[in-house]
Structure 1
Amino acid sequence: MNVEVVAVGTELLLGQIVDTNSSWIGEQLALVGLNSHFQTKVGDNLGRIVDTLSRALERSDAVIVCGGLGPTQDDLTREALAELAGEQLDEDETMIDTITAMFGERGRRMPMNNLNQARKPASAEFIPVQPGTAPGLVLPLQKGVVYAVPGVPWEMKEMLSGYVLSDLSRRSGDPAAIASRTLRTWGESESGLDELLAPRMAELDQLGNPTLAFLASGVEGLKVRITAKAADTATATSIVDDEADRLRTLLGPLVFGTDHDNMESAVLAMLEARGHTLGVAESLTGGLLGSRLASVPGASAVFRGGIVAYHPEVKQQLLDVPVGPVVTETVALAMARGACARLGTEVGLATTGVAGPDALEGHSPGTVCMAAVWPGGEAAITLKLPGGRQQVREFACISVLDLLRRRLMTDDA
């Protein structure tokens, strides 16, 4: 089954709102084994919405149209569905009662234009999952089926997860189960990763199952998604597990986690397993590293705190950094040792350098010195990181965490 996604809203075309709904829907369709070859955005114009949906039905078996189900005059998805079906919009008394009750439960007055949301073409049905006042619609047509869902992300996701995806799978007649796993990597470019995995991907092209896809995630690294299809969930999961083990062997230390892991959660888990605590000393990252670490649930078991030593005098007074240039590996190591001493930890991390836009001490923007100290040793490196000021700071955070991760892995080997 081919499923097309149509996002409705002039604000999407003007860039006032980023269309994250379509990307999420596309991901969910892939996870349940449904093809999606087209995604389209269209403004709040009845004729253009009807034309877009008509074109979508000519090339796809089903269409998910997102947005345009509100109560105002520019919410035209219901009218477009009625025109596609050649029917009038009729008010549904049961839905009127449902929407009225929702407002009553919230202690709010219901504006009369909310009754527009209780209208539907005669051949359409309301989606039984309704988290908000905007009900979704299912419209079977001769060419295919249209699902209309709200543009509010959490409402849309509940309808997709609670009804639409399972109904699409039922209509497709394909009982197959889909399993997926994402390996998180850092330290290699997309082209480099493709080169490393090219022989295995050629083998999988012949097999057809599982499949691999690269997903670039900016400062969070590259993702390698494994997707398998089988007659049941257990078999599909087993295929994914076997392939994940194979790829870990091929990629080695490039893989730092799976699925929802990030670099900070991976490093904190490694330190907790060793019984170590962590302190950080930050200059150009200005507390960003500590913030990322503190965002991980349970971080307090490992992370004791951080020192933001931005000015050279603060570095000298709090971290025993020697007087002189501060964009050096020597200073980064002194900061990391100072973090351990001041915060009472076994492991310390430090960043210093030039975030930009101006040069410092003869070093161009993007020059970052970072260091890690741990019971097994210490290490410092200098990197030239890309991007503007914020990107340099973000790259520095994940790079210094990766520096520690790889050294700990080497100690384990």
Structure 2
Amino acid sequence: MRVEVLAVGTELLLGQIANTNGAWLGEQLALVGVDSHFQQVVGDNQGRIVLALRTALARGDGVVVTGGLGPTHDDITREAIAEVMGAELRFDPEVWARIEAIFAARGRALPESNRRQAMVPEGARVIEQRLGTAPGLICPVGLKVVYALPGVPYELQEMFERAVVPDLRERLAAEGFHGVIRSRVLRTWGISESALAERVAPRIEALDAAGNPTIAFQASGIEGIKVRVTAKAASDAEALALLDQEEAALRDLLGDAVFGLDGCTMEQAVAEELGRRGLCLGLAESVTGGLVASRLVAVPGASQWFRGSLVTYATETKVRLLGVPPGPVVSAEAAEAMAVGARRALGADVGLALTGVAGPEGAEDQPPGTVFVGLALPDGQTSATRLRLPGDRDRVRQLSVISALDYLRRRLRQDRVGSSA
């Protein structure tokens, strides 16, 4: 079964609002087992909405339309769907009673314009609105279907899960599909997309021949590259077994580049590594100015393994608080000294430090984007690494954060694996 997504709203075309609904719906359709090969965005114009609907229905079996179901003059999705269906719009007293009850409960006057939301194409089925005022619609077009949902994300998501998913599953069952589709995302850092593709190429070739599971890449900027594995099977247990098998194969190929699964962040991966060893962390930040600490304290339970961060931006502060010796403060030696000082000053087991040049100008004979990360481990070992990061000032600082945390994660993991060998 093939279903397209059509987002309605001139504000989307003008870039005033991001089309987050399209991304969410694409993911949810895949999880149900529906193929979605196209997405469209169209402005508030009935003729163009009708054209987009007819184009989508010509290419597939259904359309999920978002937006244009409000009470104002430019909310014309209902009219466009009725035209495609060849049906009249009829006033639905039950929908109107629901809208009246919502306004009464809120103690607000009900504008006459809201009657538009009670107009339903003849032959369509209403999806009850539970969070707002605009009901959804399930509209048959011959053997095909148009689902109309509000553009407000939380309203759309609730309706889709409650009403659209069961309807899609019934249609899939009628086509003979009774299985499930499950996905798992391996999150990576420290490897380029091209290098990752080269490493994973043997698995992609093998899976292309088998047809199941499948692998796809998704670059996500400062959060690394995601490797999504999707499996189809007759049951959840069979799908999960396929995902487990493929995850193990990919981890063998990618090694330490994989830092987590699905929604796991780099800071969560670091927290898990510290927790496994019962260690606490202390930070010294210069170039990042507290950004690393901000991400770490977003992890629930951070107080158990995070001691704090010293933001030592000025050179004299590095010297006075951390004991950094005379010399360049954007250097490997300074980064190591900062890490040792943070470990000592904060009473931590592990010290992590960042110093660098975010730009736009260079400093201390170092070009913009140069960052040194220092590390002090419980056994007294110290180390540092130099990063050359691209982008403007903000991007360099953001990349510094995740790169430094990844350096810490890898060293802790190596130390743990080495000590257990």
> TM-score band (shorter)?
over 0.9
Q: Kindly, what percent of the aligned residue pairs are identical?
A: 55
Which of the numbers 330, 354, 358 marks the counterpart of 2:357?
Answer: 354
1:163 matched to which residue of 2? 163
**CA drift at 1:200:** 1.1
Count of paired positions: 413
Query: Which AA in structure 2 matches 1:157?
Result: Q
**CA drift at 1:221:** 0.7
**CA drift at 1:129:** 5.5
Going from structure 1 to structure 2, the CA distance change for 1:107 and 1:372 (only over 3 Å counts) comes to: farther
2:414 matched to which residue of 1? 410
Going from structure 1 to structure 2, the CA distance change for 1:374 and 1:110 (only over 3 Å counts) comes to: farther
1:325 matched to which residue of 2? 328
1:248 correspondence with 2:227: no
Partner-residue secondary structure (3-state), 2:374: strand
Partner deviation per Cα, 1:243-301 (whole Å, 9 max, x = no partner)? 11121122111111101101110001110121111111111111111001111122121
Q: Retained in 1: the 8 A contact 2:4–2:62? A: yes
Q: Retained in 1: the 8 A contact 2:273–2:413? A: no
Structure 1: segments with no counterpart, 5+ residues:
none
2:376 matched to which residue of 1? 373
Partner-residue secondary structure (3-state), 2:391: coil
2:233 matched to which residue of 1? 230
Q: Retained in 1: the 8 A contact 2:285–2:354? A: yes
1:62 matched to which residue of 2? 62
Q: Retained in 2: the 8 A contact 1:185–1:255? A: yes
2:13 matched to which residue of 1? 13
Q: Which moved more, 1:299-308 or 1:34-43?
A: 299-308
Q: Retained in 2: the 8 A contact 1:385–1:392? A: yes
Which of the numbers 387, 402, 413 marks the counterpart of 1:383?
Answer: 387
Structure 1: how far apart are the matches of 2:162 and 2:304? 37
Which of the numbers 312, 316, 329 marks the counterpart of 1:313?
Answer: 316
Q: Retained in 2: the 8 A contact 1:96–1:118? A: yes
Q: Retained in 2: the 8 A contact 1:58–1:143? A: no
1:399 correspondence with 2:400: no
Partner deviation per Cα, 1:19-74 (whole Å, 9 max, x = no partner)? 11111111111122211111000000011111110111111101001110111111
Partner deviation per Cα, 1:226-245 (whole Å, 9 max, x = no partner)? 11111111111111111111
Given the two structures, how large is their TM-score scaled by the length of structure 2?
A: 0.96
Query: Which AA in structure 2 matches 1:387?
Result: G
1:339 matched to which residue of 2? 342
1:192 matched to which residue of 2? 195
2:185 matched to which residue of 1? 182
**CA drift at 1:190:** 0.8
Structure 2: how far apart are the matches of 1:265 and 1:60? 41
Structure 2: how far apart are the matches of 1:241 and 1:108? 53
* 1:202-213 correspondence to structure 2 within 5 Å: 202-213=205-216
Query: Which AA in structure 2 matches 1:208?
Result: G
Given the two structures, how large is their TM-score scaled by the length of structure 1?
A: 0.98
Structure 2: segments with no counterpart, 5+ residues:
none
**CA drift at 1:211:** 0.8
Partner deviation per Cα, 1:105-136 (whole Å, 9 max, x = no partner)? 22333222122111111111111463211111
Structure 1: how far apart are the matches of 2:32 and 2:195? 30
Partner-residue secondary structure (3-state), 1:132: coil
Structure 1: how far apart are the matches of 2:334 and 2:372? 8
Structure 1: how far apart are the matches of 2:124 and 2:339? 64
Q: Retained in 2: the 8 A contact 1:130–1:136? A: no
1:44 matched to which residue of 2? 44
Partner-residue secondary structure (3-state), 1:285: coil
Query: Which AA in structure 2 matches 1:186?
Result: W
* 1:86-235 correspondence to structure 2 within 5 Å: 86-128=86-128, 130-142=130-142, 144-173=144-173, 174-235=177-238
Query: Which AA in structure 2 matches 1:176?
Result: G
Q: Retained in 2: the 8 A contact 1:62–1:145? A: yes
1:285 matched to which residue of 2? 288
